[in-house]
Amino acid sequence: MIVLPALVSLLAQTEGPPLRPDEAGPTKWIRLLPDSAARQATQIDTMSLVFLVVSIGVLLLLLVLGGWFCIRYRAGSPASRRDQLQKTWPLEVTWTAISTVVFLGGFFWAGALYFDLYQPPPDALRIHVVGKQWMWKVQHPSGQREIDELHVPAGRKIELVLTSQDVIHSLWVPAFRVKRDVLPDRYTTLWFDATTTGRFRLMCAEFCGTDHSTMTGWVHVMAPADYERWLGPSSPEAPLPDRPGGPAAPLAVAGRGHFFRLGCNACHTPTARMRAPRLDGIWGRPVALRNNHDVVADDDYIRESILDPNAKIVAGYPAPSLMPTYRGQLSEDELSQLVEFIRSLRGGWWEAPSYPAAAVREEEDR
């Protein structure tokens, strides 16, 4: 039980910040866990400590009772072994009630924390992360891109939208106590609220091939003002219909460029002559399908509709779908940009020239 946390600590601190003077020297204690640097980390550590104390308490109680019975009823002892006729149900009811309250309380506490960890808040800053052998590719909403580095502001809820370009990965930040599988052909999410500025290790926690051990990086938690300076001036770089946004274009603007480049505007814009489902205002709403089921228009639904148009055909439209598949024509980065563009239409259609830098900032603040 002690070896695993110690190993976690060593991994989390490898090449990390230098030790403080009071931490150095031969008398320094072995750290069983890395520092907690996020709100979730404090909650998880508190719950784990309570569970550990309760478990140790139950274990000690059982050991004491077991030892007492072994001594009292050892061979040759004068203890009476006759049938006991007195009732013990008050003791049994009390013990059962206490155990039930304690363990059900732990269950609901852990369940509430679990649901909190798996439901990103709606006002979180969305950052797209693509895992591939053997690196992490990051796209910020305002257009900045990173590899094996992730810059985030402290005190701001951050949602990572994760997908894999090849095999199963798992993004893990020990100091935040968060980890999520990164899967091909679908999106998963991970969110955190970093409370401490500094540099913290991120790594892949799922064996993904020969160089799995090198698939590491750093999360840089910065003061909000420093993060704004790191972002630099936003440049929408509005794309023309035949040219996607430049490398510094915000995700939604770059996605609009792919939207026109692939000819999606021929069917899915408000003024299109071809009859196809409208995309403005669709995000987050239920969509009625031909099979009499409903599906919420989220990241996975939009992605699946782009790559496999016949998977979920909207009610009132023919089967098979007239829309071609774009599988193999878009990279994971481009898919993320298209998804963000369609998400940006939840408030209505916008044209590229009317999407200035201020709108980019507004999108990040939502």
**Token representation of residue 119:** 């439901």
Tell me which CATH homologous superfamily contains domain 1-15+30-57+91-231: Cupredoxins -  blue copper proteins (2.60.40.420)
Alpha carbon distance 314, 294 (integer Å) = 9
CATH T-level fold of 251-365? Cytochrome Bc1 Complex; Chain D, domain 2 (1.10.760)
Q: Which pLDDT belongs to residue 243? A: 38
Q: Which pLDDT belongs to residue 351? A: 59
Q: Which pLDDT belongs to residue 148? A: 92
Q: Which pLDDT belongs to residue 141? A: 87
Go through 69-96 and write b for each residue having 16 or more CB atoms within 10 A of its CB, e for each that does not. eeeeeeeeeeeeeeeeeeeeeeeeeeee
- pLDDT tens, residue by residue, 323-351: 888 888 888 888 888 888 888 888 777 65
- For the chain, residues with pLDDT lower than 50 are 1-27, 235-247, 352-366
Rg (CA), the chain: 27
Q: Which pLDDT belongs to residue 320? A: 84
- pLDDT tens, residue by residue, 272-312: 777 788 888 888 888 888 888 888 888 888 888 888 888 88
Contact assessment for residue 203 and residue 216, using Cβ atoms and an 8 Å cutoff: yes
CATH 1.10.760.10 intervals, the chain: 251-365
The DSSP bridge pattern shows strands 178-182 and 294-296 to be unpaired
CATH 2.60.40.420 intervals, the chain: 1-15+30-57+91-231
Residue 202, H or E segment: strand 198-204
Q: Which pLDDT belongs to residue 112? A: 92
